[in-house]
Each structure stands twice: as C-alpha cells, then as structure tokens.
Structure 1
Amino acid sequence: MTTHHLAQFNITKLKADLSNPIMKEFKDFLAPVNLLAEQSPGFVWRFSDESGEAAIDVETPFEDPSIFVNMSVWENYESLRAYTYDTVHSYFLKSRKKWTEKMDSHQVVLWWVEQGTIPTLIEAKEKLDKLEQSGPSYEAFNLHERFTSEGKKAF
C-alpha cells in the first residue's frame, strides 16, 4: 500500500483578466475541466475556493496578479498523466497560447506528500522556487525528470 500521493502545482501568466472576452473559452471551461479531474481515476484533491470552484480570486504568493495557479494531489503519476494528456484537458494545453503568455521559468512542479496531506500555496511556491534554483530532485521535480515516492529517479 502506498503511503504517498503526488502533489502538482502549476502556474501560468494570463494574457488578460478572466472578465476579458479573449479569456471566455478558458474561463467557461474551468468548472467542467475541474469536474473531469475530480471524476478521474486517481484524483485525490484540488485547490479551490470556498464554493469548490477554481480558485480565481484568491491571494497567491506571487506579486503579479496575472499569475493563475492550479494545484492538485493524485494517487500516482500515471493518474495525473492520464488526466492531463488523455482527456479534453489536453486541448487546453495545446491551445494555451490563446490565453497565456510565455514564461521563462518553470511552470510545473511535482513532489510527493504523505497520504492525507494537503499542500499549501506557500509550500507549492517554495517547491517551484527550489526546482527553478536547483533543478529536479526528489524534493521538487518536473514532468520530464521525475522521482518515485521512494526517492529513485523514474525512467
């Protein structure tokens, strides 16, 4: 039995405020795509506001208000990968240039948490900063250079 779950945190710099018409498709699909995540095999938890919606107007550890944050916890990498690339979510990855600006830093970080642990935004930003400063390690890694929950490099 696994004692760890996989936390993921990703950020993106939005081209405009979500009330702007160019952001309509992105905003309209936040709830359905989040519901799809919640119904996906291996889903454990996602960051949301008090109503359970995507956390749009929450205070984040970023000074730039155009940084949109997303965080979730999954039973394992395979579940996260399947949701990310094998569902309608992949359309939004492929279409992201419509709504987001290019960033020169890491935008996704993964790390293992004890089963039952809910990560915080502060912890997630620290993990992203660690990845940016030191590169992939067991403590903070990316989709291309992953580590197992036992601390071994995944291939």
Structure 2
Amino acid sequence: MKSHGFHVAIYNFGIHVAEYGDPAIDGFLTREPLNFEAAARASGFVARSGYDGEPGPASWGPQVFPRFLSGSGRQSGPSSLSLWRDIESLMAFSYAGIHAEALKHARRWNMPQQWPPLVLFWIEAGQQPEWRDAVERFELLADRGASATAFTFKQAFDPDGRPYGIDRARVREIAAINAEGQAELLHTARSLPV
C-alpha cells in the first residue's frame, strides 16, 4: 500500500495483574527490551515514543492513560506508541516473531480487557502523535467503533479514509524478512521464564 506521505500510528494499552516489581509480571518486563529492539530492527518501523524519566527515546508529550485505568488500583498500565511505514509492516511485526511470542502470554500478565487492545490511525510523515492524541483516539474507538479516525487491523482504513484490505501475502513476506533479524532475540525470549 502507498501511504501517500503518511505513517500509521499504533497505541496499545493494558492493565497488569500486579504492580511493577511483583514477580507475576516479570515475564513481561524481561521481554519488553527485546520487543523494543525487535521493533527497531523490523522492516517498516519509523519511530516510537519513549517514557518520561526512562532511558531511551524522548516521550511524545506527557504520558496519559485511558479512562479504563480509573478504579483499577494502578497508577499506570503497559502502553506503547509507535509509527510504521504502513499497516502491513506493523502487522508483520505485531503478529509474528518476538512480539507474537509475548502476546501468547499476555493473559497471564494483564487483566481481562473491556476495551480494545489497540488503536491505529494515520499521521502525516514527519509528525509525531502525542500520547494525549493517541488516548483520545483509543477512547473514540472504544466508544464508537472503527472509523477512518481510529481503527483496527480487522477494520482498517487507508489515509484517504476508505476501507482498506490488508495485503496478507505482503505481511507474510515482511514477517519472513523480520525473522532473520530477530532470530537471536526470539531465542533469548523463549528461554525466559513466563
């Protein structure tokens, strides 16, 4: 797909079953740096926001959380915000390799969700969405369903706002390319306790 001067952004959010530092979520925490490294090596990766006060990339504005965090007893939840060349590149990273290995354990680390796990949206190339914008789109998706403003892999839209059919063959091709650069990361992740 030609993105016509746009990148696709993804924001995801969850709530852990325990506080940071609790062994129940150690499997998530030990895999997180491997996932960030795998993303940086992935075909089509553009950039990601960091987190205030943590080493790594700068935060794209103050980090905020969706209203679903309220009442959970947590001060924060695992979330990320990143930019990708196109939907196929993002999907290839998300559902194959090291990220897929982590996803299969997500129910162990996260509370059951009454909200979407992620939101996708288009942003002009060269721009960075702020956390606040991503959270607003996430809540819009939760409240109104998929639209050209806030969508999912299952109901995707192109940058012009038209429904978009993901090229699954291209996703598989990109995933195969990514696998070559993730091999040792995936080997490490598979050796970690869950």
Q: TM-score, normalised by structure 2?
A: 0.73
Secondary structure of the 1:112 match is strand
Runs of at least 5 residues in structure 1 that lack an aligned partner in the other structure: none
Instruction: Write out aligned runs for 1:6-155 (5 A).
Output: 6-49=8-51, 50-52=54-56, 59-62=63-66, 63=70, 64-155=74-165
Tell me how far apart the structure 2 counterparts of residues 140 and 31 of structure 1 sit (CA, whole Å).
Answer: 27
Stretch deviating more after TM superposition (92-101 or 41-50) = 41-50
Tell me by how many angstroms 1:150 deviates.
Answer: 2.0
Tell me how far apart the structure 1 counterparts of residues 91 and 123 of structure 2 sit (CA, whole Å).
Answer: 17
Tell me how far apart the structure 2 counterparts of residues 149 and 33 of structure 1 sit (CA, whole Å).
Answer: 27
Alpha-carbon contact 1:3-1:115 (below 8 Å) kept:
yes
Tell me by how many angstroms 1:52 deviates.
Answer: 0.7
Secondary structure of the 2:123 match is strand
Tell me how far apart the structure 1 counterparts of residues 116 and 64 of structure 2 sit (CA, whole Å).
Answer: 17
Alpha-carbon contact 2:8-2:83 (below 8 Å) kept:
yes
Stretch deviating more after TM superposition (5-14 or 44-53) = 44-53
Stretch deviating more after TM superposition (145-154 or 64-73) = 64-73
Alpha-carbon contact 2:141-2:151 (below 8 Å) kept:
yes
Q: TM-score, normalised by structure 1?
A: 0.90
Normalized per residue, the structure richer in helix is 2
Q: Deviations over 1:107-130 (max 9, x none)?
A: 210000000111111001110111
Alpha-carbon RMSD across the aligned residues, in angstroms, is 1.9
Tell me how far apart the structure 1 counterparts of residues 111 and 76 of structure 2 sit (CA, whole Å).
Answer: 10
Higher Rg of the two aligned structures: 2
